[in-house]
Amino acid sequence: MSEQDMKERIGRVANMIAAAKQIVVFTGAGVSTESGIPDFRSPGGLWTRFDPEDFTIDKFLANPETRHKQWRFLLSGDLIKDADPNAAHRAIAELEALGRLDCIITQNIDYLHQKAGNNPDRIYELHGNMKWIRCLDCGNRSPLEEILRENRTSEEMPACGRCGGILKPDVIFFGEALPEKTLQEATRRANHCDLLIVVGSSLVVYPAAYMPLYAKQSGAKLVIVNLTPTPSDRIADVVIHASAGEVMGRILAEVKQRLSGCV
Ligand code: CNA
């Protein structure tokens, strides 16, 4: 995309944000790669190193070896390292501070929107987050930090301190249902917004990827900011294939100009 083309598209998105009443931002792993957390599907992403089959709930439950592999991966820190929000998270947080955001619907489990300053009550985490660990036997929930502090090297598999049961991160594995209330509320908001902005998602994981479709079907405008093409590009009003940090930062700067009456 030429710089002129990019500038024109960013200007159109800024106009849409300035005019919209209910804005939903929908994010995926691509919003966090600039914070150093790998996504699934990019070159060098997690699927180049791990077998997606190992992230199914059935395999996790059935196979202690898979559980061990998963815990080794979790404890090695790729998804839980102490990452900081990047320019894209910060721009989205500023949109809320400017009163321009209804909510964030995210597939991410990394807690970076909360860290960037967005109101946790306005963040719908469709796939849970990595802050909590749940015992599948007695239901006890404990913070991941506690599990990490207590003992673990990446060679050990933690067990529930209360009953010795199987511990699982409170995130949604493939084959698991999404948290019902969160999904319901996210769906309602996607259906009622007048602008939905996708930032950093391949839009191939369902039911999450229905959110932009619901918005579009209900008459909202749809913007997609993603490095690579997605299956929903053809129905979007504006598509920008570039880095989320740069694009969201530039969009925010233009929105501020419009809101202050300078443009
Ligand atoms: P995905 O399928 O890996 O797609 C990520 C998309 O982001 C790709 O299309 C990339 O081209 C794009 N992308 C990568 N870097 C950037 C960037 N800097 N700027 C703009 N676009 C970029 O991930 P999705 O979120 O679409 O798929 C859903 C999965 C990924 C969910 O189940 C998540 O839980 C899971 N996941 C989350 C994290 C996290 O929480 N940070 C990390 C890895 C995977």
Lookup: tokens for 177: 């249902």
Q: Is the dihedral of CA 108, 114, 21, 14 positive or negative?
A: negative
Asked whether residue 77 carries a pLDDT value surpassing 70, the answer given is no
CA distance readout (Å), 72 to 68, 98, 125, 155, 157: 6, 42, 24, 6, 7
1-36+85-127+179-263 adopts what CATH topology? Rossmann fold (3.40.50)
pLDDT at 255: 97
Mean pLDDT confidence for 108-117: 95
Q: What is the DSSP letter of 159?
A: B
Q: Is the pLDDT confidence value at 1 over 90?
A: no
Which residue's alpha carbon is nearest to atom 32 within ligand 1?
A: 107
Q: Which residues of 69-78 are buried (b: 16+ CB within 10 A; e: fewer)?
A: bbbebbbeee
Instruction: Kindly report, as residue ranges, where domains of CATH 3.40.50.1220 are found in the chain.
Output: 1-36+85-127+179-263
The CATH number of 38-80+128-171 is: 3.30.1600.10
Q: Could you tell me the CA-to-CA distances from 132 to 21, 68, 114, 181 in Å, in that order?
A: 34, 18, 15, 18
Interval 137-175: pLDDT, tens: 999 998 888 877 775 565 667 888 899 999 998 889 888
What is the whole-number distance in angstroms between the Cα of residue 37 and the centre of ligand 1? 9
The DSSP code for 231 is T
Q: What is the pLDDT of residue 60?
A: 87
The answer to whether 203 and 41 have CB atoms below 8 angstroms apart is no
Residue 125 CB less than 6 A away from ligand 1: no
Higher pLDDT, 124 or 173: 124
Chain CA centroid to CA 131, Å:
14
What is the pLDDT confidence band of residue 218, given thresholds at 50, 70 and 90?
very high
When the pLDDT of each residue in the chain is averaged and rounded to a whole number, the result is: 91
The residue length of the chain stands at 263
> Would you say residue 190 has pLDDT above 90?
yes
Contact 208, 107 (CB under 8 A): yes
Among residues 53, 51, 49, 54, the alpha carbon closest in space to that of 65 is found at 54
Return the pLDDT at 86: 98
User: How many Å is the Cα radius of gyration of the chain?
Assistant: 19
Residue 47 has pLDDT above 80, yes or no: no
Both tokens assigned to 257: 């100009």
Could you tell me the two tokens for 192? 């009622």
Measured from the CB, is residue 37 less than 6 Å from ligand 1? Answer: yes
- pLDDT given at position 196: 98
Taking the centre of ligand 1 as the mean of its atom positions, its distance from the CA of residue 203, in whole angstroms, is: 9
Please, where in the chain does CATH 3.30.1600.10 lie? 38-80+128-171
Q: Which residues are catalytic?
A: 127
Residues near 152 by beta carbon (within 8 Å), at least 6 away in sequence: 75, 158
Chain centroid to CA 21: 23
Q: Would you state the pLDDT for residue 244?
A: 98
pTM over 0.85: yes
pLDDT-derived band at 54 (thresholds 50, 70, 90) equals confident
Contact 205 CB / ligand 1 (< 6 Å): yes
CB of 170 within 8 A of CB of 128?
A: yes
Please tell me the distance between residue 94's alpha carbon and the centre of ligand 1 in angstroms: 22
